[in-house]
A and B are shown apart, each in its own frame.
Chain A
Amino acid sequence: MLNLTINGKSITAESGTTILAAARSAGIRIPTLCYLEKSEPTGACRVCLVEVSGARTLCTACSMPVADGMEVQTNSPKVRAARRQTVELLLSEHDGNCQICDRNQDCELQNLASELGVREIPFEGEKAEARIDASTPALVRDNSKCIKCRRCVTVCSAIQGVGALQPQGRGFDTVIGPAFTLNLDGVACVQCGQCAAVCPVGAISERSHVEGVWAALEDSSKTVVVQTAPAIRAALGECFGYAPGTLVTGKMASALRALGFDGVFDTNFTADLTIMEEGTELLTRLKRALVDGEDVPLPMFTSCSPGWINFAEYYYPQFLPNLSTCKSPQQMFGAVAKTYYAQKIGVKPEDMVVVSVMPCTAKKFECQRPEMHASGVQDVDYVLTTRELGRMIKEAGIDFRALEDTEMDVPLGLSSGAADIFANTGGVMEAALRTAYELITGRPLPMDNLHVQPVAGLTGIKSASIVLEDLLPEWAFLEGVELHVAVSHGLANTRKLLEKIRTGEAKYHFVEVMTCPGGCIGGGGQPRLTDDAIRCKRMDAIFAEDEGKPMRKSHENQAVQELYKDFLGEPLGHRSHELLHTHYHAKEPV
């Protein structure tokens, strides 16, 4: 342990700790811009300057390790002046048009300028020319807003293992982006939006569907229904000043009604449906492998996360037969809404508009895939991120905090707690085990409060196993089998896991993959900036939502049972196959 003082306050810290980390744990704030939790500091922005007695120049707190006897000043006149000048320089090269910027009031640069008391920009810097890249369905990039902090570079390569964004060129002319001056569609970007989630400014954002949704809501010839992903209820509150981890399910339903949606439904409903289909698919694969001795692709991988699907299509085509053929809950919802529900209320699929609210940008890509027209028209028309929904609610002048709690509509708004946990890494696995175990044994999953602890939490790769015993007669072929499962989140972690599976180092029956760190609660479309502390709070909220429900298992969802009885037939049946399942294509990694 080392002893040092920060602003005169005595502090002990382990050696290797940075000044920034030591200050934060002592409750002292140092502003940062390029710093990204748990990543190698790049020292790119120099906003975190502090004074260290004895040092000739100011130091960057995010990269400087503490030393014994160190005396640090985070708030001297010299420090304040230097930080302010750093930000003034950034602003002098910045195309600052805050009033019409996507990040207005939600911008780290803007906040810093305010916090550091910048009142003029004394230099006239050379400003980069605006070059808008709207080449992909999910994201829009605007290089003129980029402050070259390189957070997106770190996330895309170190966390997602994709490396689509890299510094190009050198010196002042450096541009942070895809190869040379290509647009994002010229490289193998998986559309996850993690770059947009960490960008401190308006240089990368989701491609907005807000205008399309307003137009649909105004069109009296359309029936407009909305589905909300499980992760939204644990994050939307942050757009309205609630603490991270505040559940706002009831207020969200009221807000959607106030916006004018004709049906306020839940992607949870089709999360339960996914478990019925995917669970059956897993058991069928196991039966074919164990009883019929067929060469069945195992492990089976979950397929809910469209960034992961893109990743597999680009980098691991050999595993495409292992992906569950289940569409994601978003797409199952679109297909069910425009067939089953549309028939029920006597509306033609082409007169129905399905809007999704997703924590995810890749969902904007997914809904436009040509395979996603099971109803005869595009099944999901518009995808709003959590942030976009927050903006629409504000635009409509709705006082969110004053709203009453209301329930989602029936039937597509009913769901079990198992559906809620789809939002968390490990949640799809837990939901699947809750149902599959009970299906084959006739007993509930023998785990404390139905939680599969080993696959919960923020560890990058997790695994668990369970021995199947005392099975119902029709599942006797699984008697004594030890079921091995694994869970990964973040695509760099996933790559590691896939390599282990590819080389035979690890063997599993079932693997859950979520593209974003923490799962959907940490998605590229969630309120910014998401760090691990916020991930944990959102995950806890999701578990609380699950535990608060009378119905905790997908197969108990009566609305789903009715859907099978009246319309689909049985899991993996003919109609399910047409509406709820899909196929994948290898893509050349460009």
Chain B
Amino acid sequence: MTEALKGCMCTETMTEAEMLSELGDLTAEYRDKPGGLIPALQVAQSRFGYLPESVLRQIAKDFDKSYSEVTGVVSFYSFFSTTPRGRHTVRVCLGTACYVRGGKEVLAAVRKELGIDVGETTEDQQFSLDVGRCFGACGLAPVLMVDDDVHQRVKPSKLGALLKAYQAEPVAEEVVA
């Protein structure tokens, strides 16, 4: 990763202090609603990109729940992330068809290429890695998704080039809702 790209990311990332100052307004409407915790977490995550500890502790206080209960919910749903997400999410299908036709090897190759494990984000904040169960393209297994793009019949040897194409994209396309 170039230093220039790293620098750009920093200016776009909210600090935790900024998150905390916005959090109150963001989740206010859910506070007294039964079952309001999950939607509040969703709103916070889509605004901040992830849910750092300080945010979760504040949500626990605001919602009169224990921190352990809030983290219990966060760790139950794979949707929630407690580390910053990369610009791109790579998801490797491990559904039955993909699994038997090399999905496992693809996953191993991605892990090696990015140097991260499932659920983690590269240090330069470019990629996060997840696994999925069937993206509905079994005929062309193994399948891998990068953001909304489906890549079929992925060959571990071609992975480097595939991922590099995303990395080269200009940062201006960054989506922050």
**Which residues of chain A have a CB within 8 Å of any CB of chain B?**
157, 162-170, 177-180, 187-188, 589-590
Give the complex CA separation of A187 and B56 in angstroms.
Answer: 13
Select A188's contact among B66, B76, B82, beta carbons within 8 Å: B66
* Residues A589 and B68 in contact, CB atoms below 8 Å apart: no
User: Interface centre among A162, A166, A167, A589, by most B CB within 10 Å?
Assistant: A166
Chain B residues, CB < 8 A from A590: 57, 67
Min distance, Cβ B117 to any Cβ of chain A, angstroms:
14
Which of the residues A162, A167, A188 comes within 8 Å of B72, measured between beta carbons? A167
Q: Which of A162, A168, A188 contacts B71 (CB 8 A)?
A: A168
Task: Return chain B residues, CB-CB under 8 Å to A167.
Answer: 72, 76
Q: Which of B61, B75, B82 contacts A589 (CB 8 A)?
A: B61
- How many Å from the CB of A335 to the closest CB on chain B? 34
Residues of A within 8 A of B67 (CB): 179, 187-188, 590
When A589-B61, A590-B57 are in contact, do A187 and B76 touch as well, CB less than 8 Å?
no
Main secondary structure of the interface of A (DSSP, over half): loop
Among the interface residues A167, A180, A589, A590, which one has the most CB atoms of the partner chain B within 10 A? A180
Closest B residue to A164 by CB, please name it: B68
With A179-B67, A188-B66, A590-B67 given, is the CB distance from A166 to B72 under 8 Å? Answer: yes
- Tell me which of B56, B69, B71, B76 contacts A170 (CB under 8 A): B76
A-B contact pairs, 20 of them (CB 8 A): A157-B66, A157-B69, A163-B65, A163-B68, A165-B68, A166-B66, A166-B71, A166-B72, A167-B76, A168-B71, A168-B72, A168-B75, A169-B75, A169-B76, A179-B56, A179-B71, A179-B72, A180-B71, A589-B61, A590-B57
Say yes or no: A187 contacts B66, CB within 8 Å.
yes
**Shortest Cβ distance from B13 into chain A, in angstroms?**
22
B-to-A contact residues, CB < 8 Å: 56-57, 61, 65-72, 75-76, 82
Given A179-B71, A590-B57, 14 more A-B residue pairs with CB atoms under 8 Å apart are: A166-B66, A166-B72, A167-B72, A168-B71, A168-B72, A169-B75, A170-B76, A178-B68, A179-B56, A179-B70, A180-B75, A187-B67, A187-B68, A590-B67
Q: Which interface residue of B57, B66, B67, B70 has the most chain A CB atoms within 10 A?
A: B66
Q: Judge whether A166 and B69 touch: CB under 8 Å.
A: yes
CB-CB < 8 A to A179: which residues of B? 56, 67-68, 70-72
> Would you list the 10 A-B pairs with minimal beta carbon distance, nearest first?
A163-B66, A179-B71, A166-B72, A166-B68, A179-B68, A169-B75, A179-B67, A170-B76, A168-B75, A166-B69
B residues less than 8 Å from A178 (CB atoms):
68
Pairwise interchain contact B57-A170, C-beta atoms closer than 8 A: no
Q: Complex formed: what's the CA distance from A567 to B141 in Å?
A: 87
Which residues on the A side are within 8 Å of B71 (C-beta)? 166, 168, 179-180
Contacts of B76 in A (CB 8 A): 167, 169-170
Q: A170 CA to B66 CA in the complex, in Å?
A: 18
Select the residue from B56, B65, B76 with max chain A CB neighbours within 10 A. B76
B residues in contact with A177, CB < 8 Å: 68
Closest to B56 in A: A179
Check A170 against B68 for contact (C-beta < 8 Å). Answer: no
Give the shortest distance, in Å, between A204 (CB) and chain B (any CB). Answer: 14
Which residues of chain B are within 8 angstroms of A164 by Cβ–Cβ distance?
A: 66, 68
The answer for the CA separation of A163 and B70 in the assembled complex, in Å, is 10
Across the interface, name the chain A residue whose C-beta is closest to B57. A590
Report chain A residues within 8 Å CB of B75. 168-170, 180
CA distance in complex: A179, B68 (Å): 4
Output the least CB separation between B102 and chain A (Å).
25
- B75 CB to closest chain A CB (Å) equals 5
- Nearest chain A CB to B51 CB, angstrom units: 11
**Most A-side CB within 10 Å, residue of B56, B61, B70, B75:** B75
Q: Which residues of the partner chain B approach A162 to less than 8 Å between Cβ atoms?
A: 66
A231 to B75, CA, bound (A): 41
Provide the residues of chain B in CB contact with A163, threshold 8 Å: 65-66, 68-69
Shortest CB–CB separation between residue B20 and chain A, in angstroms?
15
A170 to B76, CA, bound (A): 5
Q: What chain A residues lie within 8 Å of B61 (beta carbons)?
A: 589
How far in angstroms is the closest Cβ of chain B from A57?
27
Report the Cα distance A187→B70, complex, angstroms. 12
User: Measured between C-beta atoms, what is the minimum distance from A433 to chain B in Å?
Assistant: 35
Q: Tell me how far the C-beta of B103 lies from the nearest C-beta in chain A, rounded to whole angstroms.
A: 20
Q: State the CA gap A412–B10 with chains docked (Å).
A: 67
* Bound: A589/B68 CA distance, A: 12
CB distance from B59 to the nearest CB of A (A): 12
Nearest CB of B to A162, in Å: 7
Specify the chain B residue showing the minimal Cβ separation from A179. B71
What is the CB-to-nearest-CB distance from B81 to chain A, in angstroms, rounded to a whole number? 13
The complex places the Cα of A165 from the Cα of B69 at a distance, in Å, of 8
Q: CA–CA, A162 to B66, complex, Å?
A: 7
Inside 8 A of A169's CB, which chain B residues have their CB?
Answer: 75-76
A188 to B66, CA, bound (A): 8
**How far apart are the CA atoms of A165 and B65 in the complex, in Å?**
12
Tell me the smallest distance from the CB of A181 to a CB of chain B, in Å: 9
Alpha-carbon separation in the docked complex, A169 to B69 (Å): 11
Q: Write the chain A residue with the least CB distance to B66.
A: A163
Return B53 CB to nearest CB of chain A, in Å. 9
A residues less than 8 Å from B57 (CB atoms): 590
